[in-house]
Chains A and B, each alone.
Chain A
Amino acid sequence: MINIDEMKRELPYKENPAYIRDLVGRCRQTALRTNAAAPARRAWIWAVAAAAAILIAVIGITLSAPRKTPIERFLASITDEEAAMITDYNLEDIPEYVNE
């Protein structure tokens, strides 16, 4: 009958104790370093998030701005002289292709 309490509490994995102590030391140092760098990393994350928010806001405002009709675009593209020339005309007289 097996009594496991009488068995040696031995593991099949054999790592050198000095290597494990060294590993523990390295992990401790990494934890100290990583935590020291955390505020700078958080500042970077906030800066990137703020830039992304501004970019999204600019794109949103641009896309939501009222778009000009073809007539308004045509009128905006002509010079003051040309505008003066066509003030006598009815907008109905503007060639059809301008409205496209």
Chain B
Amino acid sequence: MQGATEILNLAADQYGERLYWHIRRLVVSHDDAEDALQETFLKIYTKAASFRGESSSLPAWFYRIATNEALQTLRRRVRLFQSIDDLSETLSEQVTTESAPDASRASVLFQKATMLLPTQQRVAFYLRYYDELPYDQIARITGHSEGSLRTNYHYAVKTIKKYLEDHAI
């Protein structure tokens, strides 16, 4: 088994940027993504000693921690008795403010469309669409069955397509 420092180095060197973008897609704001990435690395380093899986399952473990930290960041933004799903409007508006001035209209609308998805669907969609991870790995990250993830992806695509068609893309 590798030491904590080696595992942290692996996470930073080979997955650091991917983890940042995965978090960024979920939380939208760069500042929140930076904080969540920091917490992710700290968790990876402090919990590396208790990691019992094979080396091959480390990437899924990194993504799992990053996803949890991103969702935790979003939870801090909701009021008592609200769910993260209630943030969809706010996140959708934030996509506009966080987008680069030269970003294409299609990319902005696409991101806004993903904000309408329930959180579980959104996580599954991002991991499949942007990170191109196989369903068995996404299942290990999210803790959901492959069948439900396929269904989530299917519904996510349907919702996004409808949104884009409604906005004349």
Contacts and interface: CB of A to CB of B under 8 A. Distances in A.
A47 B108 CA distance: 53
12 contacts: A2-B161, A10-B104, A11-B107, A12-B98, A13-B24, A14-B102, A20-B16, A23-B34, A24-B12, A28-B41, A31-B45, A35-B46
Contacts of A27: 12, 16, 34, 37-38, 40-41
Q: Which of B16, B111, B160 has the most CB of A within 10 A?
A: B16
Contacts of B99: 12-13
Contacts of B30: 13, 15
B12 to A, nearest CB: 4
B37 A23 contact: yes
B135 interface: no
Interface of B: 4-5, 8-9, 12, 16-17, 20-21, 24-25, 30, 34, 37-38, 40-42, 44-46, 95, 98-100, 102-104, 106-108, 110-111, 129-130, 157, 160-161, 164-165, 169
B164 A2 contact: yes
Interface in A34-67: 34-35, 38
Nearest to B34: A23
B17 to A, nearest CB: 5
Contacts, number: 89
B95 A12 contact: yes
Contacts of B102: 14
B160 A4 contact: yes
A68 interface: no
A85 interface: no
A12 B107 contact: yes
The majority secondary structure among interface residues of chain B is helix
A95 interface: no
A87 B113 CA distance: 96
A12 B104 CA distance: 7
The list of the 9 closest CB pairs from A to B, nearest first, reads A24-B16, A12-B103, A14-B100, A12-B99, A31-B41, A28-B12, A12-B107, A12-B108, A31-B42
A14 B111 CA distance: 13
Contact of A9 (B12, B20, B129): B129
A11 to B, nearest CB: 6
Given A4-B157, A12-B107, A14-B100, A31 B8 contact: yes
Given A4-B129, A11-B25, 10 more contacts: A2-B169, A7-B110, A9-B129, A11-B21, A12-B100, A12-B111, A17-B17, A20-B20, A31-B8, A32-B45
